[in-house]
Homo-oligomer: A and B are copies of this chain.
Amino acid sequence: MIVKERFFSFTRDEIAFTTESGYTFDEVQVAYETYGSLNEDKDNAILVLHALSGDAHAAGFYTPQDAKPGWWDPMIGPGRALDTEKFYVICSNVLGGCRGTTGPTSLNPAIGKPYGISFPSINIRDMVRLQKVLLDHLGVKKLKLAIGGSMGGMQALEWAVTFPDFVEAVVPIATTHKLSPLAIAFNYLGIKAIENDPEWRDGDYLEYGQPAKGLSLARMIGTITYKSDELFKRRFDRAINPDTGLFQVESYLDHHGESFVRRFDANTYLYLVRAMNEHDISKPYGSLERTIRRIRSRVLMIGIDTDMLYFPDDMRNFIRRLNTAGGYGEYKEIKSCQGHDAFLIDFDQLSPIVKEFLEGTEEILDSGRNFSDYNQSFRNNI
């Protein structure tokens, strides 16, 4: 599948997009890709939502020479779980990102130089609201599905709360409606690693180069928490890297840190990590119960048994509360040694789960039943 990166730009005069922190952008650009075609009723769209370090390039190749396809390629294409013969699949880079959508590295037209840390504070709802602007621009009338893992899963769930009538189903994977203090703590380490680096220059480094050591260390911290001890034992155990004299696992972390610096911006990392830390889906509505009662979508949460950051128990609890409040929630679990990153790797488990869920949703809707009737059968089965 050969795909193309696209951009949607608008000025303040065309659309005044204001963050919840109160900042209205003079100009906004959204980088996105689409796979498949929008149908006549404009209601066959699926929105794929990327994680912290992801981008709009979810599937396919830009050129036949590309070494690697998009980050969720095995999920997206003809006959795949997100079947591009049936669905119009869309993925965009998040607000605040550094991969084509307006973020800290973008030019601030008001000052004639990049925002850097003068970029406004953003949150997960801002990301979702900008995605809605993009979908309106593309003419999408309804989402069949919003799906994503980790930070992408936070957005998927937020879609169901912010635009309850626009989205039929959501699949938040390896994620949460609010980070646990352990995940906040790990993210804080990454923030400190970057801010401690003198090359960060209080965020004003763009003309000098990245705070490479700090950003690399932040990524190394993240990388450990996205994996598992079992995986490290299988891959490295205590083997020594003959080139570096370090443990293989140490060289592996160095490599991940260094390559991240080449493709990701340090301030962007700070903005996105803070957006994750501060996200609490119930903030605008007072209580989680009131928030949950807004949801009309069918919800499938998928956990990963070895996830160090997003615990299956917490996800199961969320689904129980959703169902107690009259919602339509299911929970499935991936068994994997990959840890949190399993949602980017274990497609043999993920694909059939998502496929079955999508087919089930269509079957219910085609039969004229509503989720509420259907839901009785599995409500107490979590």
Contacts from A to B (Cβ < 8 Å) = 178-182, 184-186, 188-189, 192-193, 196-198, 213-214, 217, 220-221, 224, 227-229, 232-233, 236-238, 246-250, 253, 277, 280, 311
Contact = CB atoms under 8 A, between A and B. Distances in A.
A185 B250 contact: yes
Contacts of A189: 189, 217, 220-221, 224, 253
Contacts of A184: 238, 247, 249-250
A247 B276 CA distance: 13
A18 to B, nearest CB: 23
Contacts of A185: 224, 232, 249-250, 253
Given A180-B233, A181-B247, A238-B280, 19 more contacts: A180-B229, A181-B232, A181-B237, A181-B238, A182-B229, A184-B249, A184-B250, A185-B224, A185-B250, A188-B220, A188-B246, A188-B247, A188-B250, A188-B253, A192-B217, A196-B213, A198-B198, A221-B221, A229-B311
Contacts of A228: 182
Nearest to A248: B181
Contacts of A182: 224, 227-229, 232
Given A224-B185, A250-B188, A217 B193 contact: yes
Contacts of A237: 181
A311 B193 CA distance: 27
Contacts of A232: 180-182, 185
A233 B179 CA distance: 11
A80 B261 CA distance: 54
Contacts of A197: 196
Contacts of A192: 217, 220
Given A188-B253, A224-B189, A247-B188, A236 B196 contact: no
Contacts of A227: 182
A233 B183 CA distance: 11
A189 B280 CA distance: 29
A240 to B, nearest CB: 10
A178 B247 CA distance: 13
A181 B217 contact: no
A241 to B, nearest CB: 12
Nearest to A250: B188
Contacts of A250: 184-185, 188
A342 to B, nearest CB: 16
In the complex, the 6 A-B pairs of residues with the closest C-beta atoms, listed nearest first = A181-B232, A182-B229, A181-B249, A196-B213, A188-B250, A185-B249
B188 A236 contact: no
5 contacts: A181-B229, A181-B248, A182-B232, A188-B250, A193-B196
A179 B250 CA distance: 13
A104 B311 CA distance: 41
A277 B232 CA distance: 15
A88 B130 CA distance: 70
A192 B221 CA distance: 10
Chain B CB within 10 Å — which of A178, A192, A233 has the most?
A192
A247 B277 CA distance: 9
Contacts of A214: 196
A374 to B, nearest CB: 34
Contacts of A220: 188-189, 192
Chain B CB within 10 Å — which of A198, A229, A311 has the most?
A229
A305 to B, nearest CB: 14
Contacts of A188: 220, 246-247, 249-250, 253
